[in-house]
């Protein structure tokens, strides 16, 4: 059984620009980098800044407040930060992008 609910999302208008969308009830940053879409959480774990106001640089999402950096593939923060953000799976079907949001653990019970 697929553990994710897949949601259709629009492709960001520009490479490297961070766009925020609500997907499956979650605030998510969408980033197009080298024609691949990445989806991450939108809240910085450091002090709660909105990461969609940041930017993407060399495969990292940079927080606009104190410049913490997060890998857009793994969500891992730079080593000296000791933090991370959530990332979500992405797939392309029929030329459209979908983001996978994990289903609730009890969803399969009913």
Binding flag, residue 65, ligand FES (CB under 6 A)? yes
One-letter-per-residue 3-state SS of the chain: CCCEEEEEECCCCCCCCEEEEEECCEEEEEEEECCEEEEEECECCCCCCEHHHCEEECCEEECCCCCCEEECCCCEECCCCCCECCEECEEEECCEEEEEEECCCCHHHC
- The pattern of x and - marking residues 79 through 108 that bind ligand FES according to CB under 6 A reads ------------------------------
Q: Which is nearer to ligand FES, 23 or 63 (CB)?
A: 63
CA nearest 99: which of 82, 87, 110? 87
Closest distance of CB 38 from ligand FES, Å: 18
Q: Which of 28, 30, 68, 75 forms a contact with ligand FES (CB under 6 A)?
A: 68
- Interface with ligand FES by CB under 6 A: which range of 13-21, 30-38, 40-48, 95-103? 40-48
Binding flag, residue 23, ligand FES (CB under 6 A)? no
Residues that bind ligand FES (CB under 6 A): 44, 46-47, 49, 63, 65-66, 68
């Amino acid at each position: 059984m697929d553990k994710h609910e897949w949601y259709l999302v629009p492709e960001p208008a520009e490479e490297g620009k961070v766009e925020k969308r609500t997907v499956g009830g979650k605030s998510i940053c969408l980033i197009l980098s080298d024609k691949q879409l990445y989806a991450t959480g939108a809240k910085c774990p450091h002090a709660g800044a909105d990461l969609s106001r940041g930017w993407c640089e060399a495969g990292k999402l940079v927080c606009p407040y104190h410049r913490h950096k997060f890998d857009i593939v793994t969500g891992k923060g730079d080593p000296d930060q000791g933090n991370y953000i959530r990332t979500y799976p992405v797939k392309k079907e029929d030329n459209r992008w979908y983001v996978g949001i994990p289903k609730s653990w009890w969803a399969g019970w009913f």
